[in-house]
Structure 1
Amino acid sequence: MLVFDLDDTLYLERDFAFSGYVSVGDWVQEQYGLTGFEPQCRKLFEDGERRQVFNRASEAIGLEPSQDLILRLVDVYRNHPPSIHLCDDVQRFFAQRVGPFGLITDGPEQMQRNKISALGLEAYLAHICPTGAWPTGYGKPHPRSYEMMEDAAASGQMMVYVADNPAKDFVTPKARGWRTVQINRPGRVHAPEAPDDLHMADCVINSFDDLDDVLAG
């Protein structure tokens, strides 16, 4: 069974970030009458900032980045209805194939489900596992989500995980005998280099257009 990651695998995570910045910027303007929050966030992201985007953007437009404010901004960001779309190669792939397919994705459950809904993935994926539905500690590389997919697959079926982040995506399925494929998209958020051989995918592709050839090899 083919199982996919979500962020930077089926769509670009940066698109979700930019969509969220628009929603947060609109909220800031509505609450405080201040403009410019969204472009500040976007510039910080483009400059490589990930952890202090809202703090620094708030300071840049004259808002005190109190803990309460940052928590509220994060809530707006995580729960906004995202404006995102599947990558073109992913759309071609799903248009030409019949599953069942699976999905394993980390992150707050509602945020990930909002993405899944916005991308229309329920039409393609029979088995969806947002690890954020479970207590802390069950995200990748914990084996629980992979075991769930194995239980859903037909007996003896080859298991394949297609994902982007070698820091956590491949070490567990490799150890369980899955085939692993890293998708290396331009504009990805995470570094594509694996920390060691155990974390490396079996193969690397730049497009889902190459996935059939890799799986047949």
Structure 2
Amino acid sequence: MIARSIRAKRVLVFDLDDTLYLERDFAFSGYVHVGDWVQQQFGAPDFGLHCRQAFERGERTRIFNHACQAVGLEADPDLISRLIDVYRNHPPAIDLCADVARFFARSSGPFGLVTDGPEQMQRNKIAALGLEAIIAHICPTGAWPKGYRKPHPRAYELMEQAASGARMVYVADNPAKDFVTPRARGWVTVQINRPGRVHAPDAPDDLHAAGHVIDSLDDLDAVLAN
């Protein structure tokens, strides 16, 4: 997971979802895949379309239930569980945000990645985005028991151990969980607010707020120069 020590004065560690790509793009990709599966299994058309429409209405927790109702399928627990599995494990059609691609093109790192979510789902995203060729130190917290997700310090501690005393920077999007721990550990924290993000940008209190807020990684160099 974190194979070797980093030799640098500064290490940039990124979140994944809504930081390096738009999480909604994964959702839309998944709905297409799930819709194809439902069509093959049950002959029901437009399931993926109904999923996307529910998402765009603001639904987040019962999207498949709403889509089942729309196409006339019984949303029994076994079917919902299968739909979730198909969704999470599909090969995603996603791309890095344009500013992220520009940033990695002009920056040499070193880079780390700390991301929550089921491990295989996150690794599928990482592979689809080509991040394994860019980021050597990747830490999906889903590889551990549930209690180690952010804001638990374990992932940050591992990044610090690999960094060997370097200045640590965390760039992420969700103030509900992303910044409170690295900030308490003395990291520079940077919140990126992307249009179309899934999570609310407002911190629940000052301890959870990032030290800096940007709208694009095009602005990150100026933050790090301070």
Please say whether Structure 1 and Structure 2 have the same fold, judged by a TM-score greater than 0.5: yes
Partners of 2:43 and 2:206 in 1: CA distance: 52
Determine if the alignment matches structure 1 residue 121 to structure 2 residue 134.
no
Task: Name 1:210's counterpart in structure 2.
Answer: 219
Task: Name 2:202's counterpart in structure 1.
Answer: 193
Partners of 2:166 and 2:160 in 1: CA distance: 9
Q: CA RMSD in A?
A: 0.5
Partners of 2:72 and 2:13 in 1: CA distance: 45
* SS state at 1:159 partner: strand
Partners of 1:152 and 1:125 in 2: CA distance: 13
Task: Name 2:39's counterpart in structure 1.
Answer: 29
Partners of 1:161 and 1:97 in 2: CA distance: 16
Q: Which of 176, 186, 209 pairs up with 2:185? A: 176
Partners of 1:54 and 1:185 in 2: CA distance: 26
8 A Cα contact 1:6 1:103, kept in partner? yes
Task: Name 2:6's counterpart in structure 1.
Answer: none
Determine if the alignment matches structure 1 residue 19 to structure 2 residue 32.
no
The number of equivalent residue pairs is: 216
Partners of 2:166 and 2:38 in 1: CA distance: 50
> Structure 2-normalised TM-score?
0.95
Partners of 2:84 and 2:162 in 1: CA distance: 34
Offset, 1:126: 1.1
Cα shift readout 1:136-168 (whole Å, capped 9, x = no counterpart): 100000000000100111x33110000000000
Identity of aligned residues (%): 75
* SS state at 1:42 partner: helix
Gaps of 5+ in 2: 1-10
AA paired with 1:158?
R
Instruction: After the TM superposition, list the runs of 4 or more consecutive aligned residues in structure 1 that deviate by more than 3 angstroms.
Output: none
Gaps of 5+ in 1: none
* SS state at 1:125 partner: coil
AA paired with 1:57?
A
* SS state at 1:129 partner: strand
Relative contact order (alpha carbons < 8 A, sep ≥ 6): 1 or 2 greater? 2
8 A Cα contact 1:99 1:126, kept in partner? no
After TM superposition, list the pairs within 5 Å mapping 1:85-96 onto structure 2.
85-96=95-106
8 A Cα contact 1:4 1:161, kept in partner? yes
